[in-house]
Amino acid sequence: MAGLMIVFVLISIGFMVQVQEETQKVQEINNQYQEQSELINSYDIVKSDINDDLINAFGDDLDLLNMEITPENTIRFNSPEVLFSNGQSEISDDFKFILDKFFPIYLDLIYSNYKDSIKEIRIEGHTSTEWSQDVSPNVAYFNNMRLSQDRTRSVLEYVMNLPSSEPYRDWLVANMTANGLSSSHPIINPLTGKEDSARSRRVEFKIVTLM
């Protein structure tokens, strides 16, 4: 009888230890989930704050600078005829004027307030699916890829060489990139469901946060 009691006690102790270990694991998972939720929430707040600051900084000059601010904190420069000559990668004088006005304010705002929350500033060049010559869609895609890459490099070089960018040079080298995407991400007209060729030809400054 005493032997059975000892066995029962040992089984009970083993069960209690197992329950305690499982409870501890569940608590650890809950703590990790809570930490992740708080981290995600903090970066959602950062993204919202960035958007508010961009609107406050540029909201009155959107028409002057020929740009729009998306809810995802992308600065989008439209009207391709203002940005570059057709089929060329050299920045137009009008676009230089826009960048001269825009980038120093943009860079100071982002660096001063959010540099520790930002993973990357992406300069993206986009084209429509069209090409001026009578070529296949495949050839047009690669021609536009080369053009969009050349254009984003031109924009990157121009803003990096602005005198106002010099104090931020090391940070820009580490965090700003140029990305030509050809016609991979066209703008679709919501009314027709078809590509909006004019708005698809654009340059964007996109903020990528750490989460």
pLDDT of residue 36: 61
Judge whether 4 lies within some domain: no
pLDDT of residue 124: 97
The domain total for the chain is 1
Q: What is the CATH number of the domain that holds 54?
A: 3.30.1330.60
H-helix or E-strand spanning residue 179: strand 176-180
pLDDT of residue 86: 83
pLDDT of residue 7: 63
Q: Rounded to whole angstroms, how far apart are CA atoms 161 and 159?
A: 5
Judge whether 13 lies within some domain: no
Judge whether 30 lies within some domain: no
pLDDT of residue 53: 97
Strands 176-180, 118-126: pairing kind: parallel
H-helix or E-strand spanning residue 6: helix 2-58
> Quick check: pTM over 0.85?
no
H-helix or E-strand spanning residue 32: helix 2-58
Task: Give the mean pLDDT per block of 10 residues along the chain (211 residues).
Answer: 65 72 68 58 85 96 94 91 89 96 98 94 92 83 94 97 97 97 92 89 93 71
- How far from the centroid of its chain's Cα atoms is residue 61's Cα? 22
Judge whether 186 lies within some domain: yes
Question: Which residue range(s) make up the domain with 185?
Answer: 50-209
Judge whether 79 lies within some domain: yes
Q: Rounded to whole angstroms, how far apart are CA atoms 8 and 146?
A: 77
**Which residue, chain included where needed, has tokens 């121009």?**
158
Q: Rounded to whole angstroms, how far apart are CA atoms 49 and 189?
A: 29
- For 59-136, where are the alpha helices, taking DSSP H only? 80-83, 93-114
pLDDT of residue 4: 64
Judge whether 28 lies within some domain: no
* Number of CB atoms found within 10 A of residue 101's CB: 14
pLDDT of residue 80: 79
Judge whether 184 lies within some domain: yes
Backbone angles phi, psi at 207, to 5 degrees: -95, 125
pLDDT of residue 37: 56
pLDDT of residue 97: 96
Judge whether 32 lies within some domain: no
